[in-house]
Structure 1
């Protein structure tokens, strides 16, 4: 692309871009750090500390962290690499495989959602203990189910069990302030950063 277009170009992952969008203009605005998860067709996450992505030899693959199986969950997992990692147990397609229908067709009181919340809460729990970000943002199609966030809060509180002091959950574990647009806004913000370097 640089060969064809003589313009500044920034590269990152889709979920990093969404994290950056929320960091500069959404739920992470004005904070020093944030972690953004997308829970949809797959599960991925981006982490930002003082304006920079947290990464080393490569970008993080938080969607493939190992999670403890819910006692009532007999689903074997759908990740082709790890079977029952976070993505294998919590991505949108696993809901459909468990229920035999798409997530938006599953009733709010179906026990599947408690199982789903348990896995998502584990991601937030692990993130809290490893990175202690100012905010954890849960995006993606699964989190468009408005009843999911309170369930995640409930499961998260049980997992933490008073071990660490955390901010009020309504401010700490949230859905995207930018709704469907954090990735687009993040890309534009990253492009703007490149232009400012000229």
Structure 2
């Protein structure tokens, strides 16, 4: 797709996922501003995550699909998961669709149900432990519709601390795991920043060629 776009328009073209763009937005102008690395995770209809290291979005042969990592099912959770590919991956057990199918109501209607959010935090904390051990981001920003239930944040921090069990020294969890400062504008902000980066890189390339 990127090559087709480049052929169709006589301008530099940058291309990434919504969560990668959101990570770039938050590390540049948002909740992780001034840091060299961060992760952005969105938990809504699905779950996706992006990471920025030294100002660059983390990508390899493809973009990261960190919403589909495997997590340990809670011993009392009988819901089989709703991911069509992996059933009980993180997205299959903790995305907004999983909450609705498991409990019969949308998350916003379950705000006062502590059992719902304790279970949600159980799965999110496992994912954050894996991300922290592998990438060591300086900050983890979690957005998306599900995370508008702010009562989930202290539960996630508490469960992450228990899972790490003192193996590594995490940063202060209150400032390590945070909601997005840019709110729903993180993605579009990152896209604008990516466009500027791409333009600058193209200029440098042209100068080098000359």
**TM-score band (shorter)?**
over 0.9
Q: Secondary structure at the match of 1:2?
A: helix
Match for residue 130 of structure 2?
126
SS of equivalent residue, structure 1 residue 6: coil
Distance in 2 of aligned mates of 1:175 and 1:7:
34
Paired position in structure 2 for 1:59: 63
Show CA shifts across 1:109-139 (max 9, x none).
Answer: 3301100111011111111111111011111
Q: What TM-score, normalized to structure 1?
A: 0.96
Q: Which of 63, 74, 77 matches 1:73?
A: 77
Largest Rg, 1 or 2: 2
1:117 corresponds to which residue? 121
Q: Write the distance in 1 (CA, Å) between the matches of 2:11 and 2:59.
A: 25
Question: Structure 1 residue 107: deviation in Å?
Answer: 3.4
Aligned twin of 1:14: 18
Any residues of structure 2 matched to 1:25-104 within 5 Å, and which? 25-104=29-108
Gaps of 5+ in 2: 204-210
The runs of at least 4 aligned residues of structure 1 exceeding 3 Å deviation read: none
Shift of 1:181: 0.6
Query: For 1:92 and 1:98, how far apart are their aligned partners in 2?
Result: 10
Match of 2:143 in 1: 139
Q: TM-score, normalised by structure 2?
A: 0.91
Q: Retained in 1: the 8 A contact 2:68–2:91?
A: yes
| 1:171 maps onto 2:168 in alignment | no
Task: Report the equivalent of 2:207.
Answer: none
RMSD: 1.1
State the aligned residue count.
198
Match of 1:3 among 7, 14, 39: 7
Tell me, yes or no, if structure 1 residue 185 matches structure 2 residue 189: yes
Alpha-carbon displacement from aligned partner over 1:23-56 (angstroms, at most 9, x marks no partner): 1111121111111111111111101110112221
2:111–2:149 CA contact under 8 A, matched in 1? no
SS at match of 2:49: strand
